[in-house]
Amino acid sequence: MMRPQSDVSARYFSKFVDSRRGEILDAALAVFAEKGYDGGTMREIAAAVGVSEPALYRHYTGKEALFEELVRLAGDHIVEMAGVTIATVRPENLRDSLRRLLEVRDQATNGHGSPVIRMLLVSAPHNGVFLATFRTHLAAPMAAMLGTLIPQIDTYFGHEYTPAQTDERVRAFMSQFVGHFMTSMVFGTPPADDTTVDAMLAIMGWDA
């Protein structure tokens, strides 16, 4: 059975999702990353994983259900790994803590420009169901964790903000992560972590 040109050799979900399900998710990720949600088909995914199309439908009712699970599991995995590191961030060692957070983010997404990033940032936001899943399983949990962390760091540096201002600061902090990913995709290489950390510290007013 011919396989599409997608990079089905890459393993992401198989690292933390057991058995055939992880293989199917990896194959779907490769197809969607190459062709987008609209362009990818269940037939191509079945060929990539090496099963018949009817066999694939025994695991998933359709392309939407499969893609939604990709978004949900990727979001949960990134949040789980980031949460462990966020819990260790200390204001007195902030630069090193932020650098570790960037490193963990890269590990959780298989690196800059990976198919996981293309899927989450390019395909997912263009469908209402997928966008809701993205918000529930990635954006909202990350915002909640940072909403606790950022005021603690602000207090350490003697800054006081209203709840509304803190919400805006959470958005500014998160935008640095998204911007880091997007520039990596556009230019083909990521900016240096130290450069990103410097920008984050300056924007947040933590570089004093």
pLDDT tens, residue by residue, 42-53: 999 999 999 999
Give yes or no: residues 51 and 121 share one domain. no
Q: Tell me the Ramachandran region of residue 51: left when phi exceeds 0, alpha when psi lies from -120 to 50, beta otherwise.
A: beta
Give yes or no: residues 50 and 150 share one domain. no
What is the per-residue pLDDT for 113? 53
Give yes or no: residues 139 and 43 share one domain. no
CATH of the domain at 34: 1.10.10.60
Give yes or no: residues 92 and 167 share one domain. yes
pLDDT tens, residue by residue, 97-153: 999 888 887 777 766 557 787 777 777 777 888 889 989 999 999 999 999 999 999
Note whether residue 200 is domain-resident: yes
What is the per-residue pLDDT for 3? 40
Give yes or no: residues 117 and 35 share one domain. no
Residue span of the structural domain in which 124 resides: 71-204
What is the per-residue pLDDT for 123? 73
Give yes or no: residues 21 and 92 share one domain. no
**Tokens 């293989």 sit on residue:** 23
Note whether residue 187 is domain-resident: yes
What is the per-residue pLDDT for 111? 64
Rounded CA separation 167/147 (Å): 7
pLDDT tens, residue by residue, 151-199: 999 999 999 999 999 999 999 999 887 777 677 767 767 678 888 899 9
First to last CA, the chain: 60
Q: Is the pLDDT of residue 37 over 60?
A: yes
Total domains present in the chain? 2
Structure tokens belonging to residue 57: 């439908």
Give yes or no: residues 98 and 140 share one domain. yes
Q: What is the DSSP letter of 50?
A: T
